[in-house]
Chain A
Amino acid sequence: MRQLILIVVGFGLFAISLSAAEPPTPEKATRNKQTSSKPAIVTVEDYARNTWDLMEIIRGRHVEAPSRQEMITASLQAVGIKDPLDAVRKVTVNSFDDYQAFIKNNLSRETFAEKQGNDLEPMVALMNRMFRPLPGRMRYLSVNEFKVMEQFNKNRYVGTGIQIRMNAQEKLSQVVYCFPNSPARNAGMKSDDLILQVNETKTADQSLAATVQLLRGNEGTDVTIVVRQPAATEERTCKMTRAVVPFETVEGFRRTSEITWDYHVEPASPVAYVRINSIKSSTLHELRKLEVRLQNEGFQAVVLDLRYCVVEEIHDAQLVADGLLDGGVLWRVRDAQNNFKELKADRDCLFRGWPMAIVIDKRGMGVGGENPGMGVGAEMVASALQSQGRAALVGEAPDSDHFIHEYLQLPNNQGYLWLPTAVAERALPQQRKLVATEQAPAIGDGRRQPRVNWKLEPHHIVEMSNEQDKAWLEWRHDQVVYGKRARNAEKSPEDPQLDEAFKAADLALKSLRARP
């Protein structure tokens, strides 16, 4: 269903869904990263050292830390040792020396080297493989990956501002879209351009990842790209300087130009449609600017679409929830020490007095869908607005583990760990109480507390079929990049969730108007 597109930014590559940026999962990183140069081999000693350091950090900071035995088991599984639990059970590991000796006993240098594959950064890949069976959806990022991730989250991407994909027929990377006002656009690059050369390097037969590596660089550095259109023979040389390319995280319903939106679904309706494709540092600011515009355009109610909304950092979700709420509790978080913190909104809110409906989904939010875990922040925003009686929820409730992650910088410039350091609980009206339930206990010395299991409860449960969901994603992508299909599209696809949300907002608005 999904078309893999790479967006080229300063220091690396990102797979994005048809509609929203998404960080690379270990699988994707493995699949995408192919290069002709031989990657460095991780030694058994390095592997032991790194995994031990990570295990110690995880034991200290993970809100529901797995036991050391679980992690050692995972570290062996990561390098292809089948069923290592027996070996782990037979040994007592209390120190790094114990662990290193155990690892050396179980991994011969030769088999270990064979298991590493062709990853550009094998240590990163190994660590992420180790995390896969462990709770909490942890991720290990190299310094460069983190840098790119941070640029994404803070909405200050540095690069040329293009989306590219591999043209299998031509065996060349091809431009899908040049973002408006990007260095690439300003230098004359166009959609469908085939990339022939980056600086001095020809790109024929280069992998997509390798081309991305060539395109990346620091803000203010120059890059020269030779391109041609698929049917043309004429080559064009585009010179540009890499720069910050901000992306909009807040969208309307239908593009009216490459940089403007129409927020109407129905032309005469006073209900605005606002989609948040991802929550980043810029999102609250974008919403503030949008509020003034929607007020000026005469809107009086809003449908907020959070489907497939990606949130990397819960802090940004807090700011958005705070911005939409006029005080009240957002949610509670429990940390590794079992301390609870209640997050409260400041006074003042956007769209004051406007009825609001929020569209949620089970595919792009929560932990099981297209953006595993990336929608938890959006889910918390929806839960906060529902708890405070601010918005009606429409759609399907996602499954979620409610882990709150943060990036921890690892010592000695080893990279970053995206670690669940807290669990979120929604705020509820006082008459309802959350009931904690027992979790499966951790093996050994793991730390798992009784856990409150909760799920969003939409006011209006409306399902989308897979076909409807696919059509919706394609429609959104067309709108974002404003290609030919978007310009020619007369009708938006069927969207029963959106229909119901509009009905709810419209009804609330009529009821509001009817009040004396």
Chain B
Amino acid sequence: MSMRASEIGVILLLTNAILLPAFSSHSLHSSSADKNENAKRRHPIALVLTNGGQRLYVANQRSGTISVIDLATQKVEAERVVARSLSSLAAAPDGCHLVGTDDESHEVILIGRDGTTPTVLRRVEVSRFPVQIRLSADGASAFVISLWSAEVTKVAFTPPLSSGAEPIPQILIEKTRELPFAPGQALLTAKDQKLIVTDAFGGRLAVLNTGDLSLDSVRALPAHNIRGLALSHDEQFLLLGHQNLSSLAQTTRDDVHWGNLLTNNLRKLKLERVLAAEGDILREGRTDLIGDVGHGAGDPSGLTVTQAGRVILALGGTNEIAWRDANAFEFRRVKVGRRPTAVVASADGRFAYVANTFADSISVVDLDKSSVHAEIALGPTPPQTSVDRGEMLFFDANRSLEGWFSCHSCHTDGHTNGRLNDNLGDGSFGAPKRVLSLRGVKDTGPYAWNGSVPDLNSQIRKSIETTMHGPKLDESQVRDLAAFVGSLRPPPPRKIVDEATRQRGRLVFEQHGCDDCHAPTTYTSPKTYHVGLADEEGRTAFNPPSLRGVSQGGPYFHDNRAATLEDVFLVHKHQLKNELSKDALQDLLSFLRNL
């Protein structure tokens, strides 16, 4: 069943013949290379149970390794580098293979097992930034969703990953399909005939036919930060773990305290209605609150359902898991390690295995006893850097009043949930404004829509202490948060366009004086401008948001009044000196989308 080591490295891939990189052959127990690998933080983000629940495979994003845990001894048996950054992991139906995605090398990885040690068999390039892979039950196909390129890729395995280890299946790219949003989660249903894909930042949900990847429907849910996606045990409902930010509530202490501002939810949607191309997707569904006044449940993350209908959710912001039995009324909760993001359950549903991303550990929770049975360390971890500490603070819901939300709740993964929020960023309540992306903000001060906050550190302190009503930060915490936010690169463009188009678009951009306010290279400027917009309180001066990564934003303007980038010009005629020709508009849009 296992692969021979000699086969590795000489396999030519069908679509993208590459030699496996040298880092793929390192293992936990092998000599000097381990020391370097062990010096890297792991950040486990996905879990796969195999061998009848005897073995747990842990996908470590930052180290690009898979850790293998023997659940009988609760010890790490092996660890091997398989990726530069391992963004997802799934088990093949044959019991021999795993498949994963690398969001740095933009590849799908076929992984075999050398004894217990994972071994890379093949790699193939897919759409940029793959973040999740879903395998069909017959092992013949997989569907890969790619974040920043907003695409789904269908790959085929020949022979299917259901026929054992030999011969090593080839990976063939069958089709790629553009999505109307950056995807975060995916799920196969209807006997693998339909693929449900959810928004990584906002609340959209798409249904695709798996045959030709044609789009059945795209609908908006009252949700953002959808991190958990699963079917109910009877497969009648689609379950989503998500948050919901109110645009009418204000960031007052009371609206936070009473859960008026932001709720953490487990939403049940009738699967039949999800799959129907039309109609009210929310009808016959229900939304349960997780958490309560005084005990928020910030940042629902991974979600799993046991055969008996027990629903288990990781709460990434409060370092807990929450679970509820099929007919139970209330969620029970227990503390686990720092930032739980993924959870799987034992076959009998008694134990939950939880990936603690920042703790580099796995918690084993006895759900019947409501207690942590064990916490398994994945290995030695290096000292934290300022960026590491800042990242932990950023994802920490305990930085808000009563644990309702973290920075990440609205600035999802440092980007934006795209929602409106009524805070004191503009000096008063009454004019909710779009949550801004934090990616690339290090270079784009001043901050807030009116440019009233001169430096990043002041903005961070204001956000935590005034908007989130969290405990006061000391100076080192502000510095750490600033270091993390400063490390976030601008979102990459969704599409790469050719140079000629880009140049034509740049010309239109300059001809209309867009660069006066959105000046390269940051595509913003420090002043405020009156550009014919007014908020609901009558304020007309705005600091221009950076246009870097503008293709990953939208809707646009301070109040989301422009649904698309086209609407910015076609409907709102934003600062155009004269009417744009059709070609000029296309060139301008291409240029902007390439930023």
Contacts and interface: CB of A to CB of B under 8 A. Distances in A.
Interface of A: 154-156, 281-282, 284-285, 288-289, 292-293, 295-296, 315, 318-319, 322, 326, 337, 339, 341, 343, 345-348, 352-353
B284 A353 contact: yes
11 contacts: A281-B255, A281-B258, A282-B258, A292-B289, A315-B250, A319-B260, A326-B282, A343-B248, A346-B247, A346-B248, A348-B244
Contact of A348 (B258, B287, B293, B536): B287
A285 B260 contact: yes
A353 B284 CA distance: 8
B285 interface: yes
A319 B536 contact: no
B220 interface: yes
Contacts of B167: none
B592 interface: no
Contacts, number: 62
B382 interface: no
Interface string B257-297: 11110010000000000000000001111111100110000
Closest A-B pairs by Cβ, 6 of them: A348-B222, A347-B222, A281-B254, A154-B254, A285-B258, A281-B258
A318 B248 contact: yes
B52 interface: no
Nearest to B244: A348
A318 B259 CA distance: 15
Interface in B216-258: 220-222, 244, 246-250, 254-255, 257-258
B254 A319 contact: no
Contact of B289 (A156, A282, A288, A319): A288
Contacts of B427: none
A292 B538 CA distance: 40
Given A284-B258, A288-B259, A353 B538 contact: no
A293 B247 CA distance: 26
Nearest to B289: A288
A322 B248 contact: yes
Contact of B246 (A156, A319, A339): A319
Contact of A156 (B254, B259, B284, B536): B254
Interface of B: 220-222, 244, 246-250, 254-255, 257-260, 263, 282-289, 292-293, 329, 430, 536, 538
Given A348-B282, A348-B287, A341 B536 contact: yes
B293 A285 contact: yes
Contacts of B222: 346-348
A282 B248 CA distance: 15
A166 B283 CA distance: 53
A498 to B, nearest CB: 27
Contacts of A352: 282-283, 285
Contacts of B430: 341
A326 B283 CA distance: 11
A146 B334 CA distance: 40
Contacts of B289: 288-289, 292
Given A281-B255, A285-B260, 6 more contacts: A284-B260, A292-B288, A292-B289, A346-B247, A348-B287, A352-B285
Given A281-B258, A285-B260, A346-B247, A292 B329 contact: yes
Most chain A beta carbons < 10 A, residue from B247, B258, B283 = B258
B256 to A, nearest CB: 10
B400 to A, nearest CB: 16
Contact of B248 (A293, A295, A319): A319
Contacts of B260: 281, 284-285, 319
Contacts of B255: 281, 319
Given A289-B289, A292-B289, A346-B246, A339 B538 contact: yes
A347 B246 contact: no
Most buried by A among B222, B257, B260, B283: B260
Nearest to A322: B248
B329 A296 contact: yes
Contacts of B249: 319
Contacts of B284: 353
